[in-house]
Chain A
């Protein structure tokens, strides 16, 4: 029961995080939200997880959840990567303005 509550809180946190990211990266936000919501469901109904795991050819429900967890982590990592790219675009815009403001005409460079 304790593990279930702990996991639920974590997964709920991810659902909220994915929701806030949805506006910026819709594809990633949506998939993370879906996966985290599924995780939330299976934590409380592990027998359904076992049923689904057997259906898709994975031994136990716990393993399925573990795999799902790995997928979520990878998505979060990809999202961080995209965030870094967005940040780079901001830095570029800033550096561009600095560069243009500091343009040196040929005479003054000598």
Chain B
């Protein structure tokens, strides 16, 4: 069965001190004709004003809360504005604007509620070996703990339907949100599909990316969450 194409597509971008690249990233996206919301996560640089000038709606966190919190804010904002479909996109320029359409297409074609970008099905430009090893391990861990059959667990490019987005409640403000999101998808029992996307590694995006020490912190965060309400 093929679902109706969504009327109102919202792109959600979480940005923290991304003034150097956010303008270029937005220039590619604004042209697509979708609504774009940038959640400025308490940046101390010109991220918010650049994003506003580029044509995005800016939702400014009064304090820095982390990427997970910013994504949840953006999703909530888009839902309140009546979004039918929400796409999350990283601010650091590692995604391609052209992949957005493929994700939305995959949602409709498969009648799914989540379309998850995967660099391991698609292409990665200039991915260092250490990063590949870390991501593969993370994917393995998530497959074991959630039962989801995914190849890439830490890809910021995802699309979700309104129904899917309403099921997601991220409590992990910091980096553990990527794993948490997958747990939420597994819990919702809704249909998900992985879509090949291209990730372009630049010096800039690598400096902002995750390292091995972060993954230990993510494990601690995820286990701590299970101990309290």
Contacts and interface: CB of A to CB of B under 8 A. Distances in A.
Interface of A: 24-25, 27-28, 78, 81-83, 85-86, 88-89, 91-92, 95-96, 98-100, 102-106, 108-110
A103 B58 contact: yes
B76 A86 contact: no
A103 B173 contact: no
B77 interface: yes
B111 to A, nearest CB: 30
Interface residues of B, number: 31
Given A92-B65, A109-B49, A99 B227 contact: no
Given A25-B227, A25-B229, A109 B65 contact: no
A16 B214 CA distance: 37
A99 B228 contact: no
Contacts of B61: 95-96, 98-99
Closest 3 CB pairs of A and B: A109-B52, A82-B228, A25-B228
Contacts, number: 79
Given A104-B48, A106-B57, 13 more contacts: A25-B228, A28-B227, A78-B227, A86-B228, A86-B229, A88-B173, A96-B72, A96-B73, A98-B62, A99-B60, A103-B58, A106-B56, A109-B58
Contact of B58 (A91, A96, A98, A104): A104
Contacts of A96: 61, 69, 72-73, 76
Given A82-B227, A109-B58, A100 B65 contact: no
Contact of B228 (A24, A92, A95, A104): A24
Interface string B36-60: 0101000000001101111111111
A24 B80 CA distance: 31
A102 to B, nearest CB: 6
Q: Main SS of the interface on chain B?
A: mixed
Chain A interface helix/strand/loop/mixed: helix
B171 interface: yes
A97 to B, nearest CB: 9
Interface of B: 37, 39, 48-49, 51-63, 65, 69, 72-73, 76-77, 80, 171, 173, 224-225, 227-229
Nearest to A81: B224
Contact of A103 (B49, B59, B65, B69): B59
A105 B224 CA distance: 38
Contact of A99 (B39, B171, B224, B225): B39
A85 B52 contact: no
Given A25-B229, A96-B73, A109-B49, A85 B224 contact: yes
A72 B180 CA distance: 30
A18 B67 CA distance: 34
B57 A103 contact: yes
Contacts of B60: 99, 102, 104
20 contacts: A24-B228, A24-B229, A81-B224, A82-B228, A85-B225, A86-B228, A86-B229, A92-B69, A92-B173, A95-B61, A98-B62, A100-B80, A102-B62, A103-B37, A103-B77, A104-B59, A106-B53, A108-B52, A109-B58, A110-B52
